[in-house]
Amino acid sequence: MATSSDLLIKQHSVIEFLAAEGCSTANIHARMKTVHGEMYISNGAVCKCVRILKGEEPRETILHDRRRLGGPLSTSDTAHREKVDCMIRANQRVKQKEIADEVCISKVRGHHIVTTVLGYRKVSARWVPRQLTVEMKAQRKDMCTQLLEGHNAEGEAFLQCVLPGDES
């Protein structure tokens, strides 16, 4: 079953065709009423459509929705992602408005890039990665390797030198 917008597009197309043939607005309306039954377009709307098509009303004929305002989804491309990521790495306390202004995107797209694409979240007014990055995993591996080498070289005496700290 056709939606009301599909039906409206079809009716506008029929009006355009019949007006090009030279049919009167009353004839167009009567023919559409016969074909579409209760779902027909009003006589006033037919007249307005014909006036627009003839150029009597300065307006372009639009059968589909126009593009809406707002940033295109291409703002999540690689260049924008890298720029936002560099900003966050340089200053973890950077604000979303500052990111949006610097990269020339909306705050909503900036928030999308930071949270969804890059995977950051706010903790104590700082942007931190949701998961460990490759660099963080490498740092932890290096630290564990150093601790293991120290234990292998010195044995139990090495463990006495290691100071336990806070888990955070």
* pLDDT for the residue numbered 139: 92
Cα torsion 155, 156, 158, 163: sign? positive
pTM, 2 dp: 0.39
DSSP state of 165: -
The answer to the question of residue 166 being in a domain is no
The answer to the question of residue 61 being in a domain is no
Q: How many domains does the chain have?
A: 3
> Which H/E stretch holds residue 17?
helix 4-21
How confident is the prediction for the chain on average, in pLDDT?
80
The answer to the question of residue 44 being in a domain is yes
Q: Is 156 found in the same domain as 111?
A: no
The answer to the question of residue 32 being in a domain is yes
* pLDDT for the residue numbered 145: 93
Q: Directed axis angle between helix 25-36 and helix 43-54, to 10°?
A: 130
The answer to the question of residue 59 being in a domain is no
Q: Which domain holds residue 141?
A: 132-161
Backbone φ, ψ for residue 121 (5° rounding): -145, 160
| 93 and 125 Cβ atoms separated by less than 8 Å | yes
DSSP state of 38: G
State which amino acid sits at residue 103. V
The answer to the question of residue 100 being in a domain is yes
- Domain CATH code at residue 84: 1.10.10
The answer to the question of residue 124 being in a domain is yes
Q: How confident is the model at residue 79 (pLDDT cuts 50, 70, 90)?
A: confident
Q: Read off the pLDDT of residues 45-70 as tens digits, 9 standing for 90 and up.
A: 888 888 877 776 555 555 555 565 55
